[in-house]
Amino acid sequence: MKMKKVKLKALSTIVAILTMLFGSATGVFADDNVMADSPAATAGTASGGTVLAGPTDFNVNAWDTHSYGDASWADYKVEFDIADFADTSGDWHDFKLQFRNNDDNYYWAYIANWGMNLYGNGSVKYNNGSPITAVSPQPVYADTPIHYEFDVIGSTITGHANGTQIFSYTDDSAGALLSGGVSWTAENIALTLRNFTITSLDSEGAVTVGPTDYSVANGQSASYGDSTWMDYKVAFDISDFDLIPAGWNDFKLQFRNSSPDANRNPKDYYWAYIANWGMNLYGNGAVRYNDGGALTGINPQPAYTDTPIHYEFDVIGSTITGYADGTRIFSYTDTNNTKLLSGGVSWKAENLNVKLENFTITLLKTGDGGTGGSGGKKPITDQVTVGAIKVPQAGVFPTSRYHYLYNNGVSDAWAYRDGGKGVAAETITWDPLITSTFNTNTVYTATVTLQPIQPNTTFAGFDTANLLGLPTVGVTNTDIGEDGDNLVVKITYASTGSMAATFNENQGLLFDDEFDGTSLDTAKWVPSVEEVRAGGSAWDNSLIKVEDGHLALGMKRDPQQGTEYGLAADPNFLSAGAVQTALDDRSVVNFENAYGYYESSVKFPQVANTWGAFWLYEPSVLIEQNDGLDGTEIDILETIGNADGVSDSSLHWNGYGGAHAAAGTNFSYKDYVSNIYDGNFHKLGLQWTPSGYTFYIDGKAMWKVDGGLLDQGYGTGSFSGINQNPLHLMLSIEKAGGALPADFTYDEMQVDYVRVYDRPKYTVDLSLAPVYDAAGSQWQIQATLTNTASSGEAQTGTVTLAGTTKQYTVAPGNQQVLTFAVDAAAVAGIGSTFTADFTTGDGGSGSASVKLGALTAVQATTPVTIDGNLEDDPVWGAAQPISFNDGTSSGMRPSVAVSGQLAWDKDNLYLAVTAKTPDLNQNQTGGNIWQGDGVQLAVRGSAGYREMGFALNPAQGVQQWNWGADGTLTGNSAIPADMATTQIVRDDSAGTTTYEIAIKWAYLGLDSSTIDASSLYDIALVLNDSDGSNRGYLAVYDGIATGSKGVGMGKLVLAAAPPITPPDVVDISGVPVHFTANKGAVSVDLRDQSLVQSILNGSGSDIVMDFTGTGASSVEVTIDVSLFKKLNKTVVIMTKDASYAVTTQKLWNNAGKPRIITVKNGKLDFKNG
């Protein structure tokens, strides 16, 4: 970090912000009588300086070293007491301090038990390395600590011992100030440093960042500093909030963002969230109190009103204090963690644009930090070897993405970030991006980025003559350049050929051991370290043997029952064998690889509570922050506790501590081609590509994991990113806990061979997706077969689903789609998991599965009345019932039973839910209603996703809320009253709560003109139930409860209104009259004079013929009119569309013929019959 010495500007104060008070958490808050109500003055020493490092005590051993600061350090002093000199072996023995260590010129103060001298190096190396100044008097160590102080001011360095000046030297030749940092190194000596302190002689602190103005865009972020920062203050003005429609809008600062654990993973930190409504302080990591709730109340709460607000945050010791426009708004002390609030600062804008002015960080004090001071970068001068890169060959997997190399040309050894042993971490990316193997006829460029591993080192100015191992075969161009501290090498290769490599048992082998010898091949394998394992066993190298063409890993009861390891005696303690191709400490590295096809033929013993495995591992699995991209344990197959015939494949990443994550699947004996415990050898396979894993047993694909492409997303569910780092092979057997069989003495896991190929063995991939045939109202499963090879022969085989088998033939690089009809009953409601099995012409097989559930909304022919009464709308009687109890249940009271129904018309989606619960518990409002009784509904359409909630708060009334949203839709707000109508009725006597809801399609971003029968959407439902203290839920699909904006949702189909089957009798003036119906038209025969007389007797002034219940729009009435001559009545005919009238006088005729009255196309007419 470059630092310049700038006086902090006086920043104007401006206005105040609104109140939003969250809860507090464990901690100590500053007492107003102790803490000033305005920003604290910059901290300094008694002499007015600023402590930049220490005071720190060190027990120094031979060749220990430490460094601090950078070229921005101008005037400072270094103080310490030195004692306990003890020489070690070597030609010289001293303790030396270096001043100005980030420039061409620097000075060494050499201190030994015989005294001290000052030397100049670089261009000030006078007198052929002799001391450049005399030191007088010469203090000699005599078992009493000596206090040294070195003042570096301008171009002069002055040394003091026990308060007496012993030298002063001014650099009058270099023409530069003695700016720069400080470092010390012990050479063949051990000693004690006490109160090692570096103090800046600038009393106002060192301005480390800014003042800088930023126009911050959504998602923009920046970070500053490192774990050496201890005391500092951050100040800025904030204005011009420009919110972006989304779930939250804020500008956040993170403090202590560089506090690492042993593996360099961030640990504890605090977030200050600033929004246009105010500010709160939150704790995360190990200090995440109250589930991430606010750590301290903010008072007063300034609200943004178009005038900039000046914020300052002082981080002193373990206390963080915030000010707004000069007034303290909070102070919080971390009492749960003894570590100081050391670390850097970062900020990020979330769903808003904002303006920052005069952003400034003033460093008041730096600490040891464990890696040196707060800045200076040492140029890398070591030779660095680029790891071997495969020449692109069509049909072959590429070189893995991450390589962590040691220096000194050792190209087959890896150093990881958490080890910090090497010079550079190597990352390889390919253009174009490779998701499987190299394609045919393609020009590839490999971009190799070398990132310094050691802190405070840089490739800036690196001599490229020291870059070794650059490939030349197949290379057409190489460019080398710098990117900040990194070195970037772009290597372009000639085009791949037109033919792709194909799989052959003896071609493309990267590793092969057939175990045909009489002992373990130590050029390939190394016995695992003899150590105690978690399940009650220890690895024992004496139980490893090679005989009869196989490797045998034995296991037996330990005669010492584990006591030789300091454990309590356990009669079930097991000794067992294990081998691997590299040791974790890198002392042996025979083989490791990323990507490829891995296969071993293994015979497993069937002994209860034992654990055989074929797996891949590397210490990079311990890295926690990259979700498995740079380290994942891959268990190709393991037989944990195998007495029940079960085995599994699994993945583990992000270490094995609190951040540990895993995914896996269990296989029972019936899943295999044959029983894996039948005493025979079985082929265990893994096909690992840059974008996924596929696990095989005896050639059958058992489990497939699709990750994102490199860093870009992690697929669905809990799966990690796909590992891009090399792993080594492991074969092992051990104990899985529990008791061994009483008669067990010895058994073994046998391995016939292990092979690793640089190309895929199986090139047919099967994926399933549900589709809806609207014309036939039929759900189908679409099976897509992909030939992943880039060239070669077409693949043929079969796919079987739901009892139907179909053939396929798919050419290299192409796909073929097969469609299978599925039973509607298996899809309705919660649905089913559909599995397809496939075979390949090369002897492979596999399966794929997809879950499909669908709900049907029935069409309402008239608008539904939203009143909480489901009896007054006929549509609810025709709607498909939904059983919530068939779905996912969590924490529910057993007496709760819930059913629902869906309906629709052109304007609305309707939902009715009846919940039988002991009581109604809901005291929340707005976005918190999910904590009490209520219903949640999520729908995804073409415009995006909405997750909505509906609840009845007895004190506040009906609550309607929208949480998550995406696409063109926005969330985190109340649902407008004109966009949804809800009635919720609680009947305590019946123990039911009834929800009746109408949601405008417009609120889902859909135009009513697009709403038709057979329209398809994604849907999920949740019923929340609270007993007053605890909440449970029932979920129809997991898109709300456990999914993420659509993951795990079911399907919603809009069904047409059911065809009307009208009764064949209509009531006319109290007289039942039969009619006939044909294609929406109704015919009535009233030519019987006596029937007409009965109708006339029962009628008033109107003869009403109501056919609306028939659903007809066309009516034909043939009627005798001989009795109409002297009548003055009106005949009214009602259809589903309208009413029509004609008088009896018009209908009468003197011809004695009946009249035929017709209503058709909105018009009444009549004629003689």
For position 595, what pLDDT does the model report?
A: 94
Residues 851, 669: Cα–Cα separation, whole Å: 23
| Cβ atoms of 3 and 275 closer than 8 Å | no
Contact assessment for residue 293 and residue 281, using Cβ atoms and an 8 Å cutoff: no
Residue 478 near residue 493 (C-beta atoms within 8 A): no
Q: How far apart are CA 802 and CA 785, in angstroms?
A: 17
559: preceding bond cis by omega (within 30 degrees): no
3-state SS of 579-624 is EECECCCCCCECCCECCEEEEEEEECCCCCCEEEEEEEECHHHHCC
Residues of the chain under the 50 pLDDT cut? 1-48, 101-104, 122-129, 174-177, 179, 203, 257-267, 284-294, 337-340, 342, 367-376, 404-421, 708-719
Report the C-alpha gap between 995 and 771 in whole angstroms: 31
The beta strand positions in 264-326, using DSSP E, are 269-275, 278-284, 294-296, 309-316, 319-324
Residue 1114's DSSP bridge partners are 1081
How far is it, in rounded angstroms, from Cα 803 to Cα 825?
16
| Residue 485 confidence (pLDDT) | 84
| Rg value, the chain, Cα | 40
Distance CA 731, CA 578 (A): 6
What whole-number distance in Å separates Cα of residue 392 and Cα of residue 438?
A: 6
**Per-residue model confidence (pLDDT) at position 798:** 95
Name 532's bridge partners.
538
Of the candidates 43, 38, 40, the one whose C-alpha atom is nearest the C-alpha of residue 13 is 38
Task: Tell me the CA distances in angstroms from 978 to 907, 975, 982, 998, one per residue in order.
Answer: 12, 8, 11, 10
**Domains of the chain, start order:** 50-200 (2.60.120.560), 206-366 (2.60.120.560), 379-493 (no CATH), 513-757 (2.60.120.200), 764-851 (2.60.40.10), 854-1055 (2.60.40.1190), 1065-1168 (no CATH)
CA distance 646 to 669: 6
pLDDT value of residue 515: 98
780: amino acid identity, one letter: Q
* Whole-angstrom distance, CA of residue 1033 vs CA of residue 164: 77
Alpha carbon 470 to chain centroid, angstroms? 36
Angle at 376 between CA 454 and CA 79, to 5 degrees: 110
Contact 883, 960 (CB under 8 A): no
* Residue 756 CB partners (closer than 8 Å, separation 6+): 509, 510, 511, 512, 591, 593, 596, 597, 598, 599, 729
Residues 6+ apart with CB under 8 A from 566: none
Rounded Cα distance between 896 and 913, Å, is 13
Surface-to-core class of residue 1157, CB atoms within 10 Å of its CB (0-12 exposed, 13-18 middle, 19+ buried) = buried
- Strand pairing report for 457-458 and 378-379: parallel
* Greatest pairwise CA separation for the chain in angstroms: 149
SS3 of 1009, please?
helix
Q: pLDDT value at position 732? A: 98
Which tokens hold the place of 1114?
A: 């066309």
Could you tell me the strand order of the sheet in which 1065-1068 lies? Answer: 1139-1143, 1130-1134, 1102-1106, 1065-1068, 1071-1078, 1081-1086, 1114-1119, 1155-1160, 1163-1168
Task: Classify each residue of 656-692 as buried b or exposed e, where b means 16 or more C-beta atoms within 10 Å of its C-beta.
Answer: eeeeebbbeeebeeebbeeebbeeebbbbbbbbbbbb
Q: In angstroms, rounded to a whole number, what is the distance separating the alpha carbons of residues 772 and 1053? A: 9
Report the distance separating Cα 388 and Cα 383, nearest Å.
16
Nearest CA among 683, 755, 729 for reference residue 511: 755
Instruction: Count CA atoms closer than 13 A to 865's CA, side-chain side.
Output: 7
Task: Report the pLDDT value the prediction gives residue 317, as an integer from 0 to 100.
Answer: 61
Q: How far apart are CA 117 and CA 130, in angstroms?
A: 9
The Cβ of residue 1004 has, within 10 Å, a number of other Cβ atoms equal to 21
835-887 residue pLDDT tens: 898 888 777 777 787 889 999 999 999 999 999 999 888 899 889 999 999 99
Using CA atoms, how far apart are residues 1105 and 1141, in angstroms rounded to an integer?
10
What is the C-alpha separation between 697 and 63, in angstroms, rounded? Answer: 54
514 class by beta-carbon count within 10 Å (0-12 exposed, 13-18 middle, 19+ buried): middle
Q: Is 751 exposed, middle or buried (0-12, 13-18, 19+ CB in 10 A)?
A: buried
Strands (E), 20-73: 50-60, 65-68
Q: Report which residue type is found at 1021.
A: L
Phi-psi region of 418 (alpha: psi -120 to 50; beta: other; left: phi over 0): alpha
* Contact in structure between 846 and 700 (CB atoms under 8 Å): yes
Question: CA 1149, CA 1167: separation in Å to the nearest integer?
Answer: 10
**Residue 131: partners with Cβ closer than 8 Å, 6 or more residues away:** 117, 118, 119
Q: Which residues contact 662 (CB under 8 A, 6 or more apart)?
A: 650, 651, 652, 653, 718
Rounded CA-CA distance 319/294 in Å is 16
Listed in sequence order, the residues at least 6 apart from 1049 whose beta carbon sits closer than 8 Å to its beta carbon are: 938, 940, 1018, 1019, 1020, 1037, 1038, 1039, 1043
Answer yes or no: are the C-beta atoms of 337 and 268 closer than 8 Å: yes
Pseudo-torsion of CA 1106, 1107, 1111, 1116, nearest 10°? -150
Residues 604 and 737: beta-carbon distance below 8 Å: no
What confidence score (pLDDT) does residue 848 get? 80
Q: Is 642 helix (H, G, I), strand (E, B) or coil?
A: helix
